[in-house]
Structure 1
Amino acid sequence: MPKQLPAKPSLEHLKREARDLRRAHRASDAEALQLIRDYHPKLSGRPSVEQVAAISFSIQDAQLVLARAYQFKSWPDLVAKIAWTPARQSLAAAISDSDVSQVERILDEYPELMDIHVRSENEGPPLSHAANQGKLDVVSALLSHDPSDVEHAFGRATLQGHLEVAQRLLDHRPALREQLKFALFGPCESLNADAIPFLIELGADPDAVWENGGKPMDMALCSYARAGREATVRALVEGGVTFEDGPEMDIVMGKFDSLAARLDVVPDVVHLASTFRAGLEFGGLYGGAPLIRPTLLHICAEYSSLEGARLLLERGADVNARCEPDEGGIGDQTPLFHAVNHKHEDMFPVLKLLLQSGADVNARATIRVPRAGIRSVQPDDPVLEAMTPLGYALNYPNSLYHKAHAGAIELLREHGAQE
């Protein structure tokens, strides 16, 4: 997960951080080794943490890793940005306040700021930063400064669902319409359903295949975001996306009447291992365990579908059913593992329902957990062996939430959970 610069960054603080990172590498600190592996450009091929610990790691290496983690190409680029900090802070405040006249005054004095990221590379220079916040008046004013990031600004606007801003950018540069094939990935990441029909009407492809093999539906199913998933998936389906029509999609889209009708026809489906998405990982990267060969109850737990979980349990689903493991015995977790560390409040109703229904808090499972990507787990991803749900929540190397949800931990312990 990229690092975010503090509101008032200082060069001395960054130098200290680089020295601390070098010391942490020498001490084989797990978090530091993971950061180095993720951001050092020389460490290709997914080396193990042991290999990362064994490399020579200079202060220049530490500075480069930090720069990359803060989304800069190099340490000098990061240092240069810090030098503009006071003006950037004033500009960020003016954009946030929709103070067009102040934005203009700052850019008249510091025209170079038009090409400098205001806060982060993701949010980008002033135009993209304003588009990300939905500041239509500011965006209109900035377009007169001949910005170089109109395409990126359009992406930020649709990512956040600011469709008036997106339309203003399209009006300014109609050629953007020719570059929208992959435009759905942004709003599918942030789960902004309103942008889906807007972009599909403009020509965005709901079945576009990204360079890693993922599609917009994969992004919507795997995103770290939670609120808006049901509406986003529905919008993709209504927009003509190719999808697997089945009980799994009923759960994700909240179509419980349809799910009940399917169970009426094939009651045993509540006990079967799902082949949804041909075993590709969905879920796990930012929440519970990977959903590979799960039961429908596992899927409900992963996506906090309380109504779906109730329906399945009423129809005889086994609260302690296990995913079908691979040939090495990996991936045999129960539904409870999917409800213990989402770090989101919406998981608690399902977690409580599973516990009330007799979920075994001390069931042990061996799970391979993904580090990155939206396509699938990889053979060299970390494996946690013979973990209980509590041990899993405390030890899961989650790439977004580094600490387990305190409420889930307390609830498990109240029910006699052990590590």
Structure 2
Amino acid sequence: MSVRRLPVRPDLDQLKNQAKELLAAIRAGEPDATAELRQHHPNRTLEPSNIKLADAQVVLARMYQASSWMRLVQAVKLADAIWRDDLHAVLELVTKSRNLLFEETIIRSDSNWGPPMTYAANLGRDRIIQALHEAGDTDHRSAWGRAVLQGKIESAKLLRIMLGNPVMPGDGLGGPAYTLSVEGTLYAFGVGARVYDGDGKLLAPVDVVLETDGRNPAAKHKILELYEQQGVVYPDTPTMALHRGRIDLLAEHLRRDPNLLSRMFSHREIYPSEMGCLDPINATVGTPLGGTTLLHMCVEYDEMDIALWLLDQGMDVNARSAVGASGFGGYTALFSTVVSQPNFWMNYNKRGPFAAPFTSLLLERGADPNIRASIWKELHPGHAKHADGMRHEYRNVTALSWGRQFHAPIFVSEPALRLIEAAGGAE
């Protein structure tokens, strides 16, 4: 049976339409819909032919983990009111149903947007935060953390006052590290965040900055610089220099190692354990990076300036990744332009811009569109909504067929595929 999850900003009209569609499917005797009826409706003997819209609404609500249709509607109206900064509507809802103050705004337990105060903090709705505080809401600490994570600094200041001006806890840098929020990081340092504990253990979440699914090179570079200013010492490696956006350091590495541009780097060299990086699955990338070159890294992390510098230094645009004992590998950076985390954000909610600048660059510099390679990929568990979490294997594919066959299309750049096809790429 299916369990549905309300999105961060749910739409009541969509839910009403889903209830009507479910009603029609149950009446038509569709097996999956009938099974949902049997599992979720309180009257297990209700015949599909006798079902009414209200029955379908109850079933749908329980599929969304709500106790009733009314509770589902409350959740949507409350979330919508907070998004619209409609203080009157928020107070009307929580006054009529006080339980809403303490329950997850969008119901599901796996939501990190939290109860209403935390939900409002994500959006910087200070009037609503203040009113909920006065109404007895109690999730101030999670709200404070989410305000910092989202870079809503005025909200963070307000919530910290409500909490009695505590020092930032040891994990307080983690939120803005995940979202690559420079503002949140600066704020956290301003209220006592530290990069090492009293025993010298690293607290700065360098691993989160390196492995997050966000892509914002300038912000990433700045946060790593801020950590360094607070005392973090980074490994003196080419890959760490790339993460930091330091072409000057890369130039020094190239001076010391003339073979740098042809080197392939292991996963651990790209994500160093001394910086807190552990399980490879935590690194949210599209085309795998373990065993690849600096050029592959540039594509995955949107480092256009560094990519241009590498190519200008003579890097082979067709440099392949390492090939393992099982035959997987041998793909070029062009493959990385087809399946990547930046592509995810381009496609997510049709955000755009729908362009493929790295594909254009590599093709202009002579990338071969018909090189073949074998790749296996297992996506991060956080992408469960978009993929099945299983290992998928792609044998003897070109960049074009890699994209056409990939099991999670949201990671695929259609603009890149069109450019590759126009350049003579084949499947």
Give the TM interval when normalised to the shorter protein.
0.7 to 0.9
Q: 1:222 to 1:347 in 2, by over 3 A?
A: farther
RMSD of aligned Cα (Å): 3.8
Deviation at 1:14, TM superposition (A): 8.8
SS of alignment partner, residue 182 of structure 2: coil
Structure 2 residue runs without a partner (length 5+): 41-60, 198-202, 272-278, 347-352, 383-388
SS of alignment partner, residue 133 of structure 2: helix
Distance 1:61 1:387 in 2: 45
Q: Which residue of 111, 127, 133 corresponds with 2:123?
A: 133
Distance 2:327 2:405 in 1: 20
Distance 1:150 1:389 in 2: 49
Q: Which residue of structure 2 aligns with residue 274 of structure 1? A: 265
Q: 1:122 to 1:268 in 2, by over 3 A?
A: same
Q: Which residue of structure 1 aligns with residue 91 of structure 2? A: 104
8 Å CA contact retained: 1:170, 1:177: no
What TM-score results when the alignment is normalised by the length of structure 1? 0.74
8 Å CA contact retained: 2:204, 2:227: no
Q: Which residue of 300, 319, 322 corresponds with 1:321?
A: 319
1:155-179: CA deviations, max 9, x gaps?
221121112212222221248647x
SS of alignment partner, residue 78 of structure 2: helix
1:208-234: CA deviations, max 9, x gaps?
9xxxxx983232223222133333333
Deviation at 1:88, TM superposition (A): 3.7
Q: Which residue of structure 2 aligns with residue 332 of structure 1? A: 330
Q: Which residue of structure 1 aligns with residue 135 of structure 2? A: 145
SS of alignment partner, residue 65 of structure 2: helix
Q: List aligned pairs for 1:16-415, cutoff 5 A.
A: 59=36, 75=62, 78-80=65-67, 82-119=69-106, 121-174=111-164, 177=167, 180-204=169-193, 206=195, 216-227=205-216, 228-275=219-266, 277-278=268-269, 287-341=285-339, 342-343=342-343, 344=346, 345=353, 348-372=356-380, 381-398=391-408, 402=410, 404-415=412-423
SS of alignment partner, residue 138 of structure 2: coil
Q: Which residue of structure 1 aligns with residue 350 of structure 2? A: none
Q: How many residues align?
A: 366
1:255-304: CA deviations, max 9, x gaps?
22332233233222111112463465879975531111211111112112
SS of alignment partner, residue 220 of structure 1: helix
Deviation at 1:17, TM superposition (A): 11
What TM-score results when the alignment is normalised by the length of structure 2? 0.73
In our comparison, the structure showing a higher alpha carbon Rg is 2
